[in-house]
Amino acid sequence: MKLLVKAPAKINLSLDVLRKRNDGYHEVRMIMTTIDLADHLELTSLEENRIEVVSHNRYVPDDQRNLAYQAADLLKRRFGIRQGVSIAIEKTIPVAAGLAGGSSDAAAALRGLNKIWGLGLSMDELAEIGAEIGSDVSFCVYGGTAIATGRGEKIEHIPAPPPCWVVLAKPQIGVSTAEVYRNLQIDRITHPNVDQMIHSIWHSDYEGICHSVGNVLEDVTFRMHPEVAHIKEQMRRFGADAVLMSGSGPTVFALAHHDSRMHRIYNGLKGFCEQVYAVRTLGERERLE
């Protein structure tokens, strides 16, 4: 059996860190939404009892380090699956970019293998399994738009924000999420107004959303990598309605309501940043087939 599964990226419209937890993770409160930038996975059943990951992207590991591999391995062990699977990943989402590309690949693998192996698991059950792989995997199982709390695995669904353009730019650097959190001084951060963001989304208030964006990790990443701050400044200069770094970076995104403004931002950034994308918001939840 062969199955194609889409794995969309996410952006953080708001990201707040409340405290350091006893388990070493940080307690977060975030608003995430999916965008129309996606990897594509082709899952193929194998007779042999093994997991194979195939990708032409040299930054994508093909072994146990790959989150889609971990998803398949977890399902096999938990449910005693003796079949194998080949996971071919067509990578579009930049790697280590703050867009949950690896987590979305894992979530897509969980959804697809649930069907191929006839496990009959619900979305909630898949999300619970996903939380064992990584903090963003639970959200990526559902997709859509949600408030994520805990270490990111507790998901509360909210409506999709009004549709708009999202222009993303990723500089040619990688950012270590662990290092960013290590350098975060919680007693010194200015917390974004997450409640205002939720209110604006519920009321389809695009201007309110643009005024409420915030990410407490920005300052840390900007200090470590000033070129990320430079991209944000350029996006503002080109007329973005709102600009924010996604996750721990280094990708920065701009929101634009009108086509003309999107083109101005996109073309302006192409001059000095290699990885630039202009996509639409998705914001709707995945469905089990």
**Dmax over Cα atoms in the chain, in whole Å?**
56
Indicate if 170 belongs to the active site: no
* Beta strands, E only, 51-91: 51-55, 84-90
CA contacts within 13 A on the Cβ side of 53: 25
Contact 11, 33 (CB under 8 A): yes
How far are the Cα atoms of 95, 230, 284 from residue 9, in angstroms, in the given order? Answer: 11, 23, 13
- DSSP secondary structure letters along 82-94: --EEEEEEE--SP
Q: 16, 105, 136, 241: which is the annotated catalytic residue?
A: 136
Contact 254, 167 (CB under 8 A): yes
Indicate if 195 belongs to the active site: no
Active site positions, annotated: 10, 136
